[in-house]
Amino acid sequence: MKQKTILLTFDLEEFVAPKEQGIPCDEKELFRISIMGLHSLIHVLQKHNVHATFFTTVTFSEDKEVAKILEVLIKNDHELALHGYDHMDVYATMNKKELHTNLKQAKSDLETQFKIQIHGFRAPRLQKVPFSLIKELNFLYEASVHPTLVPGH
């Protein structure tokens, strides 16, 4: 059978829909929901021997259970990339220096935590980040540009 190539990427953060709507919820429950979905996704990827890129926030990666899952993904040749420090960060309220500091710290924290180089970036909620900043932070690629209308974003 001829091998096919497909590019799959997934954003990893705690379930944020309630936060985005201003609905109070238990933080542990938001993480539990995302972890449950991540386990299901990994099962499908393993079943079909498919590798993917996972864009994660530092906030999500710092959860002990999540960190263990991400370590296994890395060992199994999936790519880990940066999805920002926290999914609720609002880049439009940051000046360039603040944004630079935020993303530099996030990239450094992921690289230190997992002892790997982070090459890719996708902004939370597909927010705009100047390409000059992406270059300054030594990302090889940026995947926030989205050619489709995403309601509310």
pLDDT tens across 19-59, in order? 888 898 898 999 999 999 999 999 999 999 999 999 999 99
With both helix axes pointing from N to C terminus, report the angle between 64-75 and 96-114 in degrees, rounded to the nearest 10: 70
Helix axes 27-47, 64-75, angle to 10 degrees: 20
| pLDDT exceeds cutoff 70 at 11 | yes
Phi first, then psi: give them for residue 66, nearest 5 degrees: -60, -45
pLDDT in tens, 122-131: 999 888 999 9
Q: Report the distance separating Cα 134 and Cα 100, nearest Å.
A: 9
Res 3: pLDDT: 74
Distance CA 91, CA 84 (A): 10
Kindly tell me if the per-residue pLDDT of 105 is higher than 90.
Answer: yes
Determine contact, residues 127/144, Cβ cutoff 8 Å. yes
Instruction: Give the least confident one: 3-7, 33-37, 98-102.
Output: 3-7
Whole-number mean pLDDT of the chain?
92
Average pLDDT (64-71) is 97
pLDDT of residue 54: 98
